[in-house]
Amino acid sequence: MKAIEVENLTKYYGKVKAVDNISFEIEKGKICGILGPNGSGKTTTIKSICNLIIPDKGNIKIFGKDNKKSAEHISAVFEGTRNLYWRLTPKENLRYFAGIRGLGGRKIENNIDILLDKFNLTDKKDVMVNNLSRGMQQKVAIAMTLICDTEIILLDEPTLGLDVQSFMNIKDMLADIASSMNKTILLSTHDMNLVQDICDDVVILNKGKVIAQDSVEKLMDMFESMTYEIILAESLSKSDKECLLSIDYDLYFINNKTKIEVDIFDIKEIYDIIDKLKEKNILIKEIKQKDNNFERIYLNITNEEVN
Amino acid sequence: MKKFYYLFKVSVEKIFKELKRYKFNTISDLILFYVLFMAMFLGIQGFGTSLGVSSADMGDSLEGFIIGYFLWTVMIMSFVDIAYNVIDDANKGTLEQLNMSNINLSQILVVRSMANLLVNVLLSIVLLFIIMYTTNKWIELKILSIVIPIFIGIFSILGIGLICGGLALIFKKIQSLLNLAQFFLIGLVTVFPKSKFISGLIPFNYVAGKIFFIVLGGNSFVDLSVLDYGIMIGNSIFYFAIGLLVFNQCVKIAKKKGLLGQY
């Protein structure tokens, strides 16, 4: 069953086209990552799904119904805003946002206690939110989406600015929410580890257009055999590097230019690079096929270079 | 109806919690309200005495002044509350959350304003008693007789508040307009046209006149005629409907321009 259907979504801000005729679908119970560089249209897409932005063209359906009539199915946490009242405690915030949606009573009070316990916030339940760490504030914001009991949760940059421990907590929490509570999650992020670890599907945007859309697994498979790591005996000189760059491959120079990573489409192409290194008398210590990661795939897709 | 009850309940709770947690601001507000009133009260009394106004006439003026000031603050609380709530929530980053509720944003703001009004009227009544004690000028307060017309009439002020709230969504900075409107509101509770028709066209004006009639004339809400209630209800419905219409239109414009929450 499709939880979210976006069809031909287009949005202009003045003369700037923020989102250009994009379409994608998300199945119920899946976690979908929406990726793209800054200004690619991620937040506009998420806010359009939440009906906080009215698109110029296109339709958005939530469980087959127009999104303007589907507020009861969607909750969201946005990046760059607090989402919560800082002078209220986590418990008071959860009670307030449930009340804003017309929910209350003993059942909600019980659910608040369950959620605070689940997110290890019970001992902080009476501390004002402005006195909590960034990670805990983010946990409260996500708990706030759950107390609203919506089937779909939209998260804009949920791990931005978090330390490693908080990142791990939020990541595990999201995976648990999707699997144990059968929620559909759409999250925008720049964090490829998060996408690789918890997302089922991914939509990649660039300049307001969808440039790739598939399951994370399929995208990983597609690029699996293509990244090789060549470890050199010594670091490359500037001229050697320029010479290597003249051949038509995606090369990434790492570790002070003692390591080259290359993406190739045919195994035989590795000889072109080896020949070039040989020609320049550059000694090779080791060549190995690299376990691919989503960051590389993303960079390949968006045609960005990292040196 | 149950959902509005929960919304009202959490709104009242939040107001009390924030009054307690922003206690410096709360105490400052109460002191300011008291000092401002006392300054005006003593000023009027001194002015009356210097002009040789009899104490009986002065008594009527002072009672009128107390009621006028009370009504003015109640109006300001209701009117400013909606617009400031929009600005405040946008600044706090919670406006998007309110917008995503299955309850319409205008309804949320109105219910929150009613909750705010309830808390503020309670605080105002307590302050009014302190003021009456300090000035030794006691007015017979028939709470129910005042509250019923206020409740009927306040929707016209909420309508104007919704218009300002809608403008705040689009134009962001409307403090100058709000400040100006506060002084315009003084006119609504101090100037009463002789014609019922004209008074009935001005928001809250007819209601304010009837509250003066109740308090200063020693009357009760049952002394008001059916026509009086008709004018008060009609005036409230008219301005509230316009307010809702303008606000919802402003929300639509803000959503089209992507302005919601972007402060």
| Per-residue confidence (pLDDT) for residue B175, from 0 to 100 | 79
With respect to residue A264, please indicate whether it lies within any of the assigned structural domains.
yes
Would you call A74 an interface residue with chain B, using a CB distance cutoff of 8 Å? Answer: yes
Give the rounded distance of the alpha carbon of A246 from its chain centre: 34
Same domain, A157 and A40: yes
Q: What is the largest CA-CA distance in chain A?
A: 77
Summarised one tens digit per residue, pLDDT across range B98-121 is: 999 999 999 999 999 889 888 888
Residues ≥6 apart with Cβ < 8 Å to B156: B203, B204, B207, B235, B236, B238, B239, B240
- ipTM of this complex prediction, to 2 decimal places: 0.84
pLDDT at A136 over 60: yes
| Structure tokens belonging to residue B169 | 């969504």
Same domain, A155 and A130: yes
> A237 phi and psi, to 5 degrees?
-80, 170
| Per-residue confidence (pLDDT) for residue A307, from 0 to 100 | 38
Contact B22 A75 (CB under 8 A): no
Same domain, A146 and A259: no
Nearest-CA distance A55 → chain B (Å) = 7
Select the more confidently predicted residue: B70 or A4.
A4
| Per-residue confidence (pLDDT) for residue B156, from 0 to 100 | 92
Give the rounded distance of the alpha carbon of B262 from its chain centre: 28
Amino acid sitting at position B102? N
Contact A52 B6 (CB under 8 A): no
Among B3, B7, B256, beta carbon nearest to A54: B256
Residue A199 burial (10 A CB sphere; 0-12, 13-18, 19+): buried
pLDDT at A305 over 80: no
Same domain, A192 and A254: no
Distance CA A40, CA A36 (A): 6
What CATH number should be reported for the domain holding residue A260?
3.30.70
Select the more confidently predicted residue: A227 or A200.
A200
Among B97, B99, B258, beta carbon nearest to A83: B97
Number of domains into which chain B is organized: 1
DSSP result, A137-163: HHHHHHHHHHHTT-SEEEEESTTTT--
Give the rounded distance of the alpha carbon of A214 from its chain centre: 14
pLDDT at B211 over 90: no
| Per-residue confidence (pLDDT) for residue B60, from 0 to 100 | 60
Q: Three-state DSSP class for B158? A: helix
Residues ≥6 apart with Cβ < 8 Å to B29: none
Contact B6 A99 (CB under 8 A): yes
Beta strand A284-289 with A152-156: parallel, antiparallel or unpaired? unpaired
Contact B103 A128 (CB under 8 A): no
With respect to residue A233, please indicate whether it lies within any of the assigned structural domains.
yes
| Per-residue confidence (pLDDT) for residue B57, from 0 to 100 | 54
Contact B100 A98 (CB under 8 A): no
Same domain, A65 and A190: yes
Number of domains into which chain A is organized: 2
Distance CA B73, CA B188 (A): 12
Summarised one tens digit per residue, pLDDT across range B31-79 is: 888 888 788 777 766 766 666 655 555 556 667 777 777 777 778 877 7
Select the more confidently predicted residue: B67 or A48.
A48
Distance CA B164, CA B156 (A): 13
Q: Highest mean pLDDT range out of A56-65, A129-138, A258-267? A: A56-65
Among A11, A52, A144, beta carbon nearest to B99: A52
Rounded to the nearest integer, the mean pLDDT of chain B is 84
Q: For residue B260, which residues of chain A lie inside 8 Å, CB to CB? A: 47, 52-53
Give me the mean pLDDT over the B209-219 stretch: 84
Same domain, A165 and A65: yes
In 3D space, the residue among B173, B102, B61 whose CA is nearest the CA of residue A73 turns out to be B102
Confidence of residue B185 (pLDDT cuts 50, 70, 90): confident
pLDDT at A110 over 80: yes
Neighbours of B178 (CB within 10 A): 18
Would you call B103 an interface residue with chain A, using a CB distance cutoff of 8 Å? Answer: yes
Distance CA B241, CA A54 (A): 24
CB contacts < 8 Å between A and B, how many? 106
> A59 phi and psi, to 5 degrees?
-125, 150
| Per-residue confidence (pLDDT) for residue A81, from 0 to 100 | 61
**Which is it for the CA torsion B199, B204, B210, B212, positive or negative?**
negative
Contact A52 B96 (CB under 8 A): yes
Question: Chain B, 50-79: which have a CB under 8 Å from a chain A CB?
Answer: none
Same domain, A64 and A181: yes
In 3D space, the residue among B194, B201, B216 whose CA is nearest the CA of residue B65 turns out to be B216
| Per-residue confidence (pLDDT) for residue A114, from 0 to 100 | 93
Q: Three-state DSSP class for A181? A: helix
| Per-residue confidence (pLDDT) for residue A189, from 0 to 100 | 87
CA angle centred on B180, ends B179 and B185, rounded to 5°: 100
| Per-residue confidence (pLDDT) for residue A154, from 0 to 100 | 95
Summarised one tens digit per residue, pLDDT across range A152-188 is: 999 998 888 788 888 888 888 888 888 888 899 999 9
Contact B96 A71 (CB under 8 A): no
**Which is it for the CA torsion B39, B41, B42, B46, positive or negative?**
positive
Among A84, A87, A99, beta carbon nearest to B10: A99
Nearest-CA distance B261 → chain A (Å) = 9
Same domain, A203 and A57: yes
Q: What's the residue count for chain A?
A: 307
Q: Three-state DSSP class for B174? A: coil
Chain B residue with Cα closest to A80: B93
Distance CA B235, CA B226 (A): 14
| Structure tokens belonging to residue A213 | 């859309």
Domain of residue B82 covers 2-257
Rounded to the nearest integer, the mean pLDDT of chain A is 87
Could you tell me how many helices (H) and strands (E) chain B has, helices first?
A: 10, 0
Chain B residue with Cα closest to A71: B102
Amino acid sitting at position A9? L
Residue B160 burial (10 A CB sphere; 0-12, 13-18, 19+): buried
pLDDT over 90, % of chain A? 44
Contact B255 A51 (CB under 8 A): yes
Same domain, A73 and A101: yes
With respect to residue B263, please indicate whether it lies within any of the assigned structural domains.
no
Q: Three-state DSSP class for B145? A: helix
Domain of residue A240 covers 227-291
Question: Chain A, 75-114: which have a CB under 8 Å from a chain B CB?
Answer: 75-76, 78, 80-88, 92, 95-105
With respect to residue A189, please indicate whether it lies within any of the assigned structural domains.
yes
Contact A71 B101 (CB under 8 A): yes
Tokens 């014609």, residue located: B195
Nearest-CA distance A120 → chain B (Å) = 24
pLDDT over 70, % of chain A? 94
Would you call B196 an interface residue with chain A, using a CB distance cutoff of 8 Å? Answer: no
Select the more confidently predicted residue: B47 or A14.
A14
CB distance A24 to A210 below 8 Å:
yes
Summarised one tens digit per residue, pLDDT across range A85-97 is: 988 999 999 999 9
Contact A71 B22 (CB under 8 A): no
With respect to residue B29, please indicate whether it lies within any of the assigned structural domains.
yes
Give me the mean pLDDT over the B68-94 stretch: 82
Same domain, A258 and A146: no
Integer-rounded Cα radius of gyration of chain B: 19
What CATH number should be reported for the domain holding residue A186?
3.40.50.300
Confidence of residue B229 (pLDDT cuts 50, 70, 90): very high
With respect to residue A33, please indicate whether it lies within any of the assigned structural domains.
yes
Residues ≥6 apart with Cβ < 8 Å to A84: A93, A129, A137, A140, A141, A144, B94
Chain B residue with Cα closest to A56: B256
Which of A46-50, A160-164, A272-276, B43-47 is predicted with the least confidence, judged by mean pLDDT? Answer: B43-47
| Per-residue confidence (pLDDT) for residue B194, from 0 to 100 | 83
Confidence of residue A306 (pLDDT cuts 50, 70, 90): very low
Would you call B1 an interface residue with chain A, using a CB distance cutoff of 8 Å? Answer: no
Among B5, B92, B100, beta carbon nearest to A74: B100
Q: For residue B22, which residues of chain A lie inside 8 Å, CB to CB? A: 87
Same domain, A64 and A33: yes
Contact A97 B97 (CB under 8 A): yes
Same domain, A75 and A8: yes
CA angle centred on A16, ends A15 and A22, rounded to 5°: 120
Question: Chain B, 4-23: which have a CB under 8 Å from a chain A CB?
Answer: 4-7, 9-11, 13-14, 17-18, 21-22
Contact A103 B257 (CB under 8 A): no
Give me the mean pLDDT over the A251-275 stretch: 81
Distance CA B261, CA B169 (A): 8
CB distance A17 to A198 below 8 Å:
no
With respect to residue A169, please indicate whether it lies within any of the assigned structural domains.
yes
